Chains A and B, each alone.
Chain A
Amino acid sequence: MTSLTNSAAPEAHFVFRQFFLKATRLAGRVLTSLAVIGAITFVFFRVFPVNATTTGFFYLVAILMIATAGGLVESTIASIAAMLCFNYFFLPPIGTLTVADPQNWVALFAFLATSLIASQLSARAKRRTKEAIARQHEVERLYSLSRSLLLTEPTRPMPKQIVQSISQAFEFPAVALYDRSNDQVYRAAEGDLTELDTRLREAALRSTLGDGASGFTIVPIRLGGQPIGSLAIRDSSLSDAALQSLVNLVAIGMERAASQEAVNRAEIAKRSEELKSTLLDAIAHEFKTPLTSVKAVTTDLLSDTTNQLPQHQRELVNIADEGIDRLSKLVNDAIQLARIEGGQFQLNRGIYSPNALISAALRQMKAFVEGRTINLSISVDMPPVWVDADLIQMVITHLLDNALKYSPSGTPIAINATSRNGRVIICVADRGPGIGEAEQARIFEKFYRGKTDRSLKGFGMGLAIAREIISAHGEQIWVASGLGKGSEFCFSLPVAQEGAATNEHR
């Protein structure tokens, strides 16, 4: 209750003061006009006595001037006063308020009519001028608003800047802007305006003009027929046209902010992707440089054709060499996973023959494949596929690596490629212990490594990486297996369309 009276009291006081000021000004103007009439009466009655007609004309001119300068009230009062003075001092019988000659009635009505018509005309002209000035002000303010909207700083939230620009340009006591895209209300006002929020939301949703309760004008903001927010202004004296222009400006400003933000977001995503890529390249380089010198040393020692290395030393170098291979594979896997993770990797597609992809993968795995039988079965008339070659080679090497790891060293591994219904299916099969049905669903998860053998090397990321890559191509990867039956991993690839062969012969 107290808060209500507190907030109401200053308002009443304000209205009263306004009224008082207005009344004082009017009283001043009435007194001035009465003084003018009095002065004319005095001059022509006492100083330069002239005939009644001349005096009448002077009264008429004075009333005309008062009506033009002032308003209807003072000119009406002045014409009554003039009529009374004219009658009393100049029309016979002088000194009385009776009118003997009916012609004098005509003079009296002429005074009144002149004052009425002149004051009407002047009031209208004044109103027009005032309106024109107001329009001009509105246009100037709209112009300054549009300029400040153009000069907004990209670092600060745009709706906040819009609200501040409006309140500065138009000098409204309170402005609130509701942005539908993030469901936020931005305010520029002293005091609490939270009770407005629901009404702003309603106005934006229903796209209707809100009610003007408690001195607020609420307007929906639309762009291309879509409601994008709403605006509340306290004590808006704007014309409808100006209000509409203001709302249009705000709509354009908000749209500009939204598109700016989209551009910024894309830019940030691009930069962080670039940063990630640079970082990964640096890590790859830093890890692989020492590996390179060690690998050169071990392989040089092992390539010793003259057999100068005693058997046990050869075995030791072999162990070191295998360790290097494993380490460099781990580095590769970790970098690949980091690159692929988050799904934000770009496919660099081209047209490739499945043959070339499989043999490239086999070449990469040469060190690991040694001593194992690989049965290749690829039909001769294989259609070319539309894929990212590096990534698909990676999938094949991961499947091959898995098959090598999870099957006994004496058993063969089969790779076959077939084409079926516009797809190429590549399968890698081993004769390992197989995978139980319950486990089959989980093997494509990250860091999952099979229950049977915990001692296996690796992060358990190969199948997760493979799945990410294949689904990025819009294709499938699956496993067919049973305990004791070995495992066959297959994935599909899209066949290159005729006419897409821009990439030359590949």
Chain B
Amino acid sequence: MSTGRILVIDDDPQIRRAMRASLTARDYQVTDARTGEEGLEKLRSGTYDLVLLDMNMPGMGGIEACRLIRSGSEVAIIMLTVSNTEKDKVNALDAGADDYVTKPFSLPELLARIRATLRRLPQPASHTDLSGLASKGVEIDLSSRQASVRGHASHLTAREFDLLSYFLARPNKTIVHRELLQAVWGPDYGDELEYLRVFVNRLRKKIEPDPSKPQFLLTDAWAGYRFHLPQ
């Protein structure tokens, strides 16, 4: 029984072989691609649950490939980066990746990230009253993972949706960084504040009428975030 279909996009044949061997042994179905272009082609012709995407590749490169994948699909993306700098991590997340792993990584670490990324949160309690949002021109449809601001609709990725659901289930209450990270990303997380920063910004772009002046998804400096749900 397969636990998920994974597309490995990396220009290095050794890494592709190691990934294929290790992941297949854990019951994942593995397909690989040598370049971003080939990966996009494979994504068009098949369905995948997750993409392992190398950041430094000849041709279009990982960041550009990530952006292109994200523009047409909500598939989970984990970026493999060489550099451990904040700038590269934020670039990867900004391009639409759900997570990143720094090379060289240990396999258990990668497997944990894959499991966390594929893990779906239980559907949020649907009794949250969203009519206050609707009165401000923001519609959120939890069943189809759609958000629309003044008629402009956008689709949420699974991780964005999980984060938003977590907020909506606990409106008007400050949620600290660690709690958010562990609830939405998984128990292994807790210090990756850049994840929150990037994902909150991504959510704001989809649900805030003016993302630079958020009305709903608010920052509580040094503590966490709070979802202001108008009554």
Contact = CB atoms under 8 A, between A and B. Distances in A.
Contacts of B107: 296, 299-300, 303
B193 A356 contact: yes
Contact of B14 (A290, A324, A505): A290
A295 B104 contact: yes
A504 B108 contact: no
A385 to B, nearest CB: 13
A181 interface: no
Chain A interface size, under 10 / 10 to 19 / 20 to 34 / 35 or more: 20 to 34
Interface in A366-406: 367, 384, 389-390
A182 interface: no
A505 to B, nearest CB: 5
A281 to B, nearest CB: 7
A356 B191 contact: yes
Interface string B195-231: 0010000000000000000000001111110000000
A292 B84 contact: no
B193 A506 contact: yes
A125 interface: no
Contact of B15 (A289, A360, A384, A504): A289
Given A285-B82, A296-B15, A296-B107, A359 B22 contact: no
A77 interface: no
B104 A505 contact: no
Nearest to B200: A504
A291 B221 contact: no
Chain B interface size, under 10 / 10 to 19 / 20 to 34 / 35 or more: 35 or more
Interface in B143-163: none
Contacts of A289: 12, 14-15, 82, 103
Contacts of A389: 86
B135 to A, nearest CB: 28
Interface in A287-337: 288-297, 299-300, 303, 324, 328, 332
A363 B83 contact: no
A292 B103 contact: yes
A356 B181 CA distance: 14
B71 interface: no
B31 interface: no
A353 B220 CA distance: 15
B85 interface: yes
B82 A284 contact: yes
A297 B19 CA distance: 9
Residue of A285, A300, A363, A367 with most chain B CB atoms under a 10 A cut-off: A300
B110 interface: yes
Contact of B106 (A281, A295, A506): A295
B86 A296 contact: no
Interface in A351-369: 353, 356, 359-360, 363-364, 367
A458 B138 CA distance: 57
A384 B221 CA distance: 11
B82 A297 contact: no
B104 A324 contact: yes
Given A289-B12, A291-B103, A293-B14, A348 B108 contact: no
B87 interface: yes
Contact of B104 (A292, A300, A390, A504): A292
A501 interface: yes
A348 B104 CA distance: 25
Given A299-B107, A328-B104, A504-B219, A288 B82 contact: yes
Interface string B92-111: 00000000000111111111
A353 B219 CA distance: 16
B35 to A, nearest CB: 15
B170 interface: no
Interface in A453-477: none
Contacts of B84: 332, 364, 390
Closest 7 A/B residue pairs (Cβ): A293-B14, A295-B104, A299-B106, A299-B107, A292-B104, A292-B103, A296-B18
20 contacts: A281-B56, A281-B83, A284-B82, A285-B56, A289-B15, A292-B103, A294-B104, A295-B106, A296-B18, A299-B109, A300-B18, A303-B108, A348-B86, A353-B222, A356-B191, A389-B86, A390-B85, A505-B177, A505-B224, A506-B197
Given A356-B191, A364-B84, 5 more contacts: A295-B104, A299-B108, A390-B86, A501-B221, A505-B193
Interface of B: 12, 14-15, 17-19, 21-22, 25, 56, 80, 82-87, 103-111, 177, 190-191, 193, 197, 219-224
Interface of A: 281, 284-285, 288-297, 299-300, 303, 324, 328, 332, 348, 353, 356, 359-360, 363-364, 367, 384, 389-390, 501, 504-506
